[in-house]
Amino acid sequence: MDEADKRDDIKIEGDRATWEISAVGNIKGTYLGTFVFRCFLTPLQQIAAGREERALIGENFAFAPDHEKFLAYALTQLKYRIVSSPPFWASANPNGNMSGDLPDPEIVSLVLGSAIDAEVKYKNEIKYRKEAAIERAKAANDAIIAANREEAELNGERD
């Protein structure tokens, strides 16, 4: 079982995940509210997030500190993953085009971690459902074969 599967605080409904934040930042205090995430990004959303990530850092992306690269990655991923958010997230940058410009970067990291865990949990649920469906199909097939053999034996037929 994956760690994301153990996250009872993330609820999957269809291809959306709901998560309640209750965290204390180092600067601004307590952050409370509900996030709704997409459980996956489409290829075009992934490309758009990557393009915006590189644009945030600028032309010398390779020379940017790892912390700045992470924040650029986190904010651009969350821009595309978040469907709805608590007021503190959207109001953090009211004049900008990207929410989440918080004075507490550890909160950004926490939100990204939950969004990624939601994706992993969603994909694992799909995998488990597929495996269960395959097992049910195999069992049904085996039952049909057994019933056909039994019927053939009753009718005096042989393999």
pLDDT tens figures, 39-76: 999 999 999 999 999 999 998 888 999 999 999 999 99
Domain boundaries defined on the chain: 3-120
Q: In sequence order, what are the beta bridge partners of 22?
A: 32
pLDDT at 25: 95
The proportion of the chain whose per-residue pLDDT surpasses 70, expressed as a percent, equals 94
Q: Which parts of 17-157 fold into alpha helices (H)? A: 43-57, 66-81, 87-90, 105-154
In this prediction, residues 119-145 reach a mean pLDDT of 87
Return the higher-pLDDT residue of 131 and 8: 8
pLDDT tens figures, 77-106: 999 999 999 999 987 666 677 899 999 999
CA distance 67 to 70: 5
- Burial group, residue 30, by CB count within 10 angstroms (0-12, 13-18, 19+): exposed
Place of tokens 């994301």: 4
CA distance 2 to 140: 29
The tokens for 85 are 């958010």
Distances (CA, A) of 134 to 121, 131, 139, 141, 144: 20, 5, 9, 10, 15
pLDDT at 103: 92
pLDDT at 145: 87
In this prediction, residues 130-134 reach a mean pLDDT of 82
Whether this prediction's pTM lies above 0.85 is answered by no
